[in-house]
Structures are given as C-alpha cells and as structure tokens.
Structure 1
Amino acid sequence: MDELLDSASSVERNQIVGVTKFEVVFDSAPGTAIKKIYANGRMQARVVVCISCHDSGGKEFRPTPEILETLKLIEYLGGADLGSPWSVSKEPNKYRHEMSGTGVRVRRDIGEFDDKVVRIERWVSCEQLDEKRIGAAITLPNGRTVKSNNSSPGGSDSYITLEAIAPVQYGHENFRLTKVEEFSGTERSIYRWYLGLYIGGAKLPLTGWFSPGFDSNKGAKIYCNPWRSGTWELPQYIVCLIAEYYHKGIVVFLPKDSVDRSGRVLQNYVIDVNDRPGEVSLVQGFSGWGDRSVPALTDPFAITVLDDFGTGHSFEIVTNPSSFELELK
C-alpha cells in the first residue's frame, strides 16, 4: 500500500458516503493519457489512482485503508474488472517501464495533489497485443461501488489508455559471445564466456534467462564431453556451466590423475561470475584427463534470454566439436 497511507486523516469508516476525487493517471508528465508497453507479460506501466472521499456534510477526507483495500482497476468501457490478457500487480518488477530513455521511474511530485488525496499505484502488464482504456473502482462502507467510468453529471470520469504492442525480437546474430581466459595450462584450462545483446554497437542489458526442463538448483552444467573416445588428443574432458543471475561464483570440477595413478580424482575451482552487468556468464573447463564415470551431455542447450524490457529471445548454445568454442544457433 502507498506510503502516504501512514499520514491519512483519522476518520470513522462509516462517516464516508461518497467520493470527491477519483482520477486515474500515469506517473509521467502531466496530461499523458496514453502509453505503450510491450505485450510480453513482463513489461509494466505504472498507473496511479488518486482518491479523496467526503462525508454526508460534504467535508473532504482521505480514504481509510479499509476503503483503499477495495481498489480495483477496471475496463473503462463496460466497467468489468481488468483481467486476461492484462495483469495487475501492487509491486513493480525488475524490467524497464518506459519505451525510451534510461527506464528510471520518474514520479510526479506529490505537491501536485491536494493533501486530502491518497495516491495508490498499480503496475499493469499484458500478454498479447491489445489496447485498453483503464479506469478504477472502489467500494464505500455503505456497500456502494464507485467507478471512474461515470460520465454523467456529478460522476467520476477518468481513465488512461494502455496499448500493448508487439515486442521487438532479435535473432542470435544480434548476440555476442566474448571469451576471457581465466587460466590456461597443459593439463587444465578454464575460460569465462559472456553472452550479451548488442544493437547497433550499443548493449541492451539482459536481465535473466531460462531453459525448458533445466533446473539450475540441481547444477549449472549445460555441456560435458567427459572422455573423447578414440583419441589421445588434448583435451580429453570438456565441460560448460551457466550462471544464474544471482550467482557470485561457480564451482568447476575437472578430473586429474591420482598421485599413485590408481584412478581419477576431481580438482575444484571457484570462478567468479556475473561481473559484467547485463550479460549472462558461462564457464568452460578443459582437462587433459578424461573421466568415464561422468555422464555425457552434448546436446545443444536451448535457452531463452530476457532483455531489459522482459522480452524473451530464444536460440541454442552449442560447443563446436572441433574447436570447442561456444557458438549460437
């Protein structure tokens, strides 16, 4: 609930019989009545509802928290609750909320509003192409529901328009894999890779990723050739791991021979990841020793990365069987 509720005037709930001000606005420049968001189910627009109430004598009050709990966003045309394909949240998510600029949320000055008015914010997203006029509704203590789609004299008539447009999609040719050496030796080597999205030379930050059926809680490994059968060429063991956005480091296990040459043992290395904001971190390890006890995992890794607007872009990460370089397809 909006922080302004803490300073709301104390008033008996049953004293309030009507609404004095009921306005639905955006958070940007005054007078903005229409905005566009991407229809990806993640990008949100901030909608602000401004409300004040009055008692039977016409005295204006700030609405009580109980009244504000009844607030809903509605379809201006018809008055139905705003529903699918639209979603409403009380909290903003991590994605950019503006089509242009830095994406920083610029809030309108509280001083623009009367101190009897409470401002409540809602965050609206859409999963498919659509355009909607959006109003609001609240229920008063007497059971009367007031909606902002009443254009008759004395009624509340206020709405904003949201247009959900097609998200911009980028092919794998717009993504760049950058390789950085962690350390390189005859028997074991480790490299860090960074996956970024670049448009016209400028980086569009990535905010996360997912892969169908992949559970990062069970490990970060997306590729492993544990024993290059039929060859004595180095490396014998190749592994690749991917970092979740919250990871600070990834542990890479590489096989080596035991001191008495009786069998394989694993040497672990902790590698820092996510040190380049807006990019996905991967770690690739090589060993001159194979390990037949480790299952092979050599299929392409299907991944969907999310850009700063919350739009998903899907492709595959593969390990070249000859050069062992990571590639996108």
Structure 2
Amino acid sequence: MVCFSVAITICQSSLVYLVFWLCVNGAVLILLFIFYQVKYMFEKDLSIQHFEVKFDSSAADRRRTLYANGRMQIRVLVRVSAADAQGNEVSLHGHPALQTLKLISYNDGTPLEGNWISSRQENRYAHDMSGREASITPLIPASDNRISDPSETVQVFEFWVSSKRVGSLQIAAELMLDGKRYRSNGQNGYDSSVSLDAVAPKRYPAASFLFGGIRSVEQKSSYDRLEQFSLSLFSEGRVIHLLDWSSDQVKYDPDYAGEFFYSGNLDDGVNNLSTYFGFIAPVYGESVTVKTHYGFRTLPQEAGRISIFVYASAEPANKPARTETFELKVFDEFGTDHRLRINSNTALRSFFIS
C-alpha cells in the first residue's frame, strides 16, 4: 500500500513537471512565433512614404543661425512613416530601420561629423539667438530621441546640431529600409531639408564681467567673516547668463564650493583676520555649501551668476599658501567660453577680475 502511494505521488509530481514544462516551452514557442511574424511583417514589402526634415516650428521656417562654438545647438526634427504593399501608410515604430536614421549633408550625403556635430542629446545652452534662461537644476538626459507617441503613424525624432566652425550647411536625413537607402536630399523622390548658418561667437570686453555685489555676509564672531560675491556678465542692456565654469586648478564639485585661493598666515594687522580663502561655487542648486573653520555654512545662490566666496578668519590654517592667480573659463548661455583671471587683493581680503 505504501509503495502504491509513493508511485501515485511520483506520477503526480511527474505530471505537474510535465505540465510546467509544456507551459514554459509553449510560451517560448509562442513568443518566438510572434517575434518572427512581426519581423516578417516589418521586413516585407515596406517602403518610405513620408520623409521630412524641419525645425520645431512652421514649415516656412527653413533657415536658422547659431554660434560656431561647438556647444550651441539647434533642434532638427525628422518625421518618417512607411507604406505597406497595398500603399497604406504604416508606422515604423519598433522597426530596426529606425536605428539607421541620421542627419546628412544635403549636397554630398555625408554624415554630420567633424566641424558639424549631430547629437541625440540636448545640452544646457541656448537653442536660438534670443538666449536662454538659467536653471537651478541640471538637464536630465533623454532616454530616447523619439518624441512621438508609439501609436502615431508618423514617427518624429529630434536631433541637436552644433558647429565648431563658421560656415553654412544644408541638412537632410538618411535611413536604410530593407537594404535600400533613402535620403531626403532629392533622391528617391524625397526632397526635404533645413539650413544652418554658423557665425562667429560674441566676445565681450573684460569690463562686461562684473565681480561684486555682496549678496550675503555671515559673521559668527569678530574673528570670522564669510562674504558672498557674484560673477556676472552684463552686455547689450541685459544680463547674459553664465551657465558653467571650468578650471585646471580646481576640481569641480557639484555639492560644495571649491577652494581656489588661500593666503597663508598674514601678519599685517587687518581687522585681526590673519587668513582668508577664496571659493567658487558649483553652478546648480538653490544653495551652496562652504567649508569654514566653524564648520559647513550654506547660503542661497542665484541662477545665471557664479558665486564667489571670501572667507576670512583669525585662526591660522596648517596648510601651505595657495596664492597664484586663478585662471578659469566661464561659459555663457550660448555655450561660448570666456577666459578670466581672478586676482587677490590682500589688503581688502578680496578679489578682482582681469
């Protein structure tokens, strides 16, 4: 009787395993069947029906201008759909041919490379000559350059074009479908393009860069002082936002202000403040944190301007002086870089721009 029960149990277990095996492998077979059916459907008798290159405005807007600094970008859209064997317009959403979609030169069909750059990612700088507002938060990279809904027949993709050199370029698009190359530069019956004119970036005299305007002062005692200044660019009757900075002398820290100057221990009797430091803030964030002798101090900052902090103290610091001129590049709202020097003024425990 025991043997009979064991046999039944084994049979039941085998049956459960068999059912499980059939379900799993059956599901796999069904998925493979669907995959190959979809693949077959995509690859058979498709041709391009709609192939258009445009800006993100009206169709009449076919030409734009940008600064040739390698960072200012212009948004270019490509709209594409296919036709099946019966001539019906169908979507290419999910089709591997979309991986081959790219921008090309209208005249010779070469990809954008070298001085002209096509990217699928937007950057932080202005996309038109009117400029761009500064942001207190960094730009979040897009996961895909498709901006249309999957259900739409015409799929829309965005590209971001910049130039490192002065000149003009007429831009078309290219896509490979079923081994056939489609271009919108007058070949295959498709003729759609936009043109870009890259002009020399604007340069500003040193007087346009302002260092000053104490926005905040914190003093824990008569032997401790933290001052906040702003580095800004003013021209043509308005503030030109500064969106980034870089320097070989200071490692950029997104969370804390970086030290670029330390006076060493001074013996000149200025307000009992025998040492002072210079800090430069990261560009993003409503506030910035500075490390002082009295711990971390957090102060608000304004977007579009770069915060410079001067911390003076009566307490000596056990570290070597760092008094060389601070050289840095600041990037305006169009992406143009400007080289500046920040020099120290020991008597005032402060700095000035040259």
TM > 0.5: yes
Cα displacement string for residues 245-283 of structure 1 (whole angstroms, at most 9, x for unaligned residues):
1353223323xxxxxxxxxxxx2241314x211100111
- How far residue 287 of structure 1 moved from its aligned partner, in angstroms, is 1.2
Question: Could you tell me how far 1:103 is from its partner in structure 2?
Answer: 6.9
Q: Secondary structure at the match of 2:43?
A: helix
SS in 1 for 2:57: coil
CA 1:196–1:101 in 2, change beyond 3 Å: closer, same or farther?
A: closer
Equivalent residue letter for 1:304: K
> What residue ranges of structure 2 are gaps of 5+ in the alignment?
1-37, 135-147
Figure out how many residues of one structure are paired with residues of the other and give that number.
Answer: 295
Aligned match of 2:55 in 26, 30, 36? 26
Contact 1:222 1:301 in 2 (8 A): yes
- 2:109 match: 79
Q: How many angstroms apart in 1 are the aligned matches of 2:291 and 2:81?
A: 59
State TM-score, norm by structure 1.
0.82
In terms of fraction of residues, the more strand-rich structure is 1
What secondary structure sits across from 2:191 in the alignment?
coil
Flag the structure with larger Rg: 2
SS at match of 2:273: coil
For 2:162, the equivalent position in structure 1 comes to: 125
Q: Larger % of helix: which?
A: 2
2:78 corresponding residue in structure 1: 49
Hey, what's the Cα distance between the residues in 2 that align with 1:85 and 1:171? 27
The correspondence for 2:306, drawn from 277, 280, 292, is 280
Query: Residues 318 and 101 (structure 1 numbering): CA distance in 2 closer, same or farther, change over 3 Å?
Result: closer
Q: Quick one: distance in 1 between partners of 2:173 and 2:296?
A: 56
Report the counterpart of residue 134 of structure 1 in structure 2.
Answer: 171
Unaligned runs of 5+ in 1: 1-9, 105-109, 255-266
| 1:143-292 aligned within 5 A | 143-151=179-187, 155-177=189-211, 178-184=213-219, 185-217=221-253, 220-229=258-267, 231-233=268-270, 234-246=272-284, 248-254=287-293, 267-273=294-300, 275-291=301-317
User: For the Cα contact (< 8 Å) 1:211–1:304, is it kept in 2?
Assistant: yes
Cα RMSD between the aligned structures?
A: 2.5
Question: What's the secondary structure of 2:322's corresponding residue?
Answer: coil
Instruction: State the secondary structure of the residue aligned to 2:228.
Output: strand
The CA distance in 2 between the partners of 1:219 and 1:249, in whole Å, is 7
Q: Distance in 1 between matches of 2:49 and 2:127?
A: 30
Say which SS state the counterpart of residue 69 (structure 1) adopts: helix
- Equivalent pair of 2:257/2:281 in contact (CA under 8 Å): no
Asked if the contact 1:16/1:53 (under 8 Å) is kept, the reply is no
- Per-residue CA shift, 1:53-109, capped at 9, x if unaligned? 1123322212232221210111111111111111111121111101126679xxxxx
Aligned mates of 2:110, 2:52 — CA distance in 1: 17
Aligned residue type for 1:303: L
Q: Which amino acid aligns with 1:32?
A: D
Q: Against the structure 1 CA distance between its residues 214 and 325, is the aligned structure 2 distance closer, same or farther, given a 3 Å change threshold? A: closer
Matched letter for residue 180 of structure 1? R
- The share of aligned pairs that are identical, in percent, is 28
Output the CA distance in 2 between the equivalents of 1:235 and 1:156.
73
